[in-house]
């Protein structure tokens, strides 16, 4: 049943910003030196005619959202940029009215249709992936949620209960969620403190010995300097996934540097996450790297909190990539694979 709090999108503005990285980042085996942001502003209107604006922003992230050996970087970026133009044009004309969660659910099939249109229009060598489509749609979705909260004078995370939504979660997921709403699974207020992972790229220098030149801009140049400067306790390590010797040595080298600095500053507890960016050929490779790390330094092994997306994202195309054996050793989370309820 419709609610007076329901909204319709009336106007959309989009813009992009391109930024050069301070230092190149090796991502999934590919060095990246820049990023482009998609910024979105959305105006919504309630059934009573009141209006409010909301904002959303997201990097296109085509390096990870649309990785391809057949479609070059600028073309994958251009395809995602083109899709954002089509969504910006379509959203205020969709004619839908409801809660932001309901709007997103109803509009996803349309965004996938527009992605197919972009593939045909630009004659891409392979289709615009679903993940890339969801990434492009995400700042529009965020802006709608932001506007909804502002319209009703609430923090939007207070607006996910039955007094706001027209349908419970069973309508979006399955019957085990009957009678439940999103407010059961999200916090109304942000936590005062949360750990922030410092990303260590595969090209990042660990010590002065790794520097080819020093950037004299007032910021740290090496991991050792960053740990001291930002008092790091959580570090995300980018790995290659196709060279077990290199990956093992990288983890152990990072731990050696971290241990020296943390001891010097009196820090006794810190952790790592390992991100292979889908490059591991199989679960056996991952288990072998973990075995070598443990054999090389038990303390470094204990500091591994979890492993992120070790193998190829397409679970249907690679049913052999089952992580149960690895998950019994360390927690394994999927990232790029998570595109729908089935995954």
Helix (H) or strand (E) holding 235: strand 234-238
Are residues 105 and 253 both part of a single domain? no
By percentage, how much of the chain surpasses pLDDT 90? 86
Are residues 102 and 12 both part of a single domain? yes
Asked which of 184, 218, 245 is the last residue of a domain, the reply is: 184
Q: Is 341 contained in some domain?
A: no
**How does residue 338 score in pLDDT terms, banded at 50, 70 and 90?**
confident
Q: What's phi and psi for 164, nearest 5 deg?
A: -115, -45
Buried b (16+ CB within 10 A) or exposed e, 238-258: bbbbeebeebbebbbebbebb
Q: Is 275 contained in some domain?
A: yes
Are residues 84 and 62 both part of a single domain? yes
What's the mean pLDDT in 276-294? 94
Instruction: Specify the pLDDT at position 97.
Output: 98
* CATH number, domain with residue 48: 3.30.390.10
Are residues 101 and 202 both part of a single domain? no
Are residues 122 and 25 both part of a single domain? yes
pLDDT tens digits, one per residue of 205-219? 999 999 999 999 999
Are residues 202 and 328 both part of a single domain? yes
Asked which of 149, 184, 219 is the last residue of a domain, the reply is: 184
**How does residue 317 score in pLDDT terms, banded at 50, 70 and 90?**
low
pLDDT tens digits, one per residue of 44-72? 999 999 999 999 999 999 999 999 999 99
What's the mean pLDDT in 115-142? 98
Q: Is 205 contained in some domain?
A: yes
Are residues 123 and 161 both part of a single domain? yes
Q: And the tokens for 104?
A: 């997103």
Asked which of 184, 215, 237 is the last residue of a domain, the reply is: 184
Q: Is 73 contained in some domain?
A: yes
Are residues 66 and 141 both part of a single domain? yes
Are residues 119 and 176 both part of a single domain? yes
Instruction: Specify the pLDDT at position 241.
Output: 94
Q: Is 168 contained in some domain?
A: yes
Q: Is 2 contained in some domain?
A: no
Q: Is 71 contained in some domain?
A: yes
What's the mean pLDDT in 11-22? 97
Instruction: Specify the pLDDT at position 27.
Output: 72
Are residues 170 and 313 both part of a single domain? no
Q: Is 63 contained in some domain?
A: yes
The DSSP output letter for 223 is H
Instruction: Specify the pLDDT at position 336.
Output: 76
What's the mean pLDDT in 254-259? 99
Which pTM was predicted?
A: 0.92
Number of folded domains that form the chain: 2
The CA R_g of the chain, rounded to the nearest whole Å, is 23
Helix (H) or strand (E) holding 148: helix 130-151
Q: Which structural domain range is residue 173 located in?
A: 7-184
Are residues 25 and 119 both part of a single domain? yes
Q: And the tokens for 130?
A: 């679903």
> Is residue 325 pLDDT above 80, yes or no?
yes
Distances in whole angstroms, Cα of residue 175 to Cα of each of 25, 102, 103, 106, 178: 44, 17, 21, 19, 5
Are residues 38 and 168 both part of a single domain? yes
């Amino acid at each position: 049943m419709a609610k007076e709090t329901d909204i319709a999108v009336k106007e959309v503005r989009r813009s992009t910003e391109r930024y050069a990285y301070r230092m190149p980042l090796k991502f999934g085996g590919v060095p990246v030196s820049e990023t482009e942001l998609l910024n979105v502003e959305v105006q919504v209107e309630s059934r009573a005619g009141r209006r409010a604006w909301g904002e959303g922003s997201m990097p296109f992230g085509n390096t990870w959202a649309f990785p391809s050996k057949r479609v070059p970087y600028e073309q994958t970026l251009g395809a995602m940029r083109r899709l954002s133009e089509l969504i910006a044009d379509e959203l205020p004309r969709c004619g839908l009215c409801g809660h932001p969660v309901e709007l997103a659910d109803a509009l996803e099939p349309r965004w996938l249709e527009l992605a197919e249109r972009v593939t045909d229009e630009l004659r891409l060598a392979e289709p615009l992936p679903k993940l890339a489509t969801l990434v492009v749609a995400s700042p529009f979705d965020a802006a709608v949620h932001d506007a909804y909260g502002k319209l009703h004078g609430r923090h939007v995370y207070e607006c996910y209960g039955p007094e706001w939504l027209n349908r419970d979660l069973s309508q979006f997921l399955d019957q085990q969620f009957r009678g439940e709403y999103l407010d059961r699974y999200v916090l109304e207020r942000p936590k005062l403190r949360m750990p922030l992972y410092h990303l260590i790229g595969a090209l990042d220098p660990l010590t002065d010995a790794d520097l080819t030149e020093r950037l004299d801009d007032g910021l740290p140049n090496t991991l050792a300097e960053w740990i001291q400067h930002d008092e790091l306790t959580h570090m995300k390590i980018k790995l290659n996934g196709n060279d077990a010797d290199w990956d093992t040595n990288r983890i152990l080298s990072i731990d050696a540097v971290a241990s020296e600095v943390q001891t010097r500053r009196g820090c006794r507890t810190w952790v790592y996450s390992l991100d292979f960016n889908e490059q591991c050929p199989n679960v056996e490779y991952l288990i072998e790297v973990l075995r070598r790390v443990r054999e090389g330094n038990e303390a470094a092994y204990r500091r591994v909190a979890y492993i992120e997306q070790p193998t190829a994202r397409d679970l249907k195309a690679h049913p052999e990539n089952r992580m149960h054996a690895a998950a019994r050793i360390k927690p394994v989370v999927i990232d790029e694979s998570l595109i729908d309820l089935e995954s």
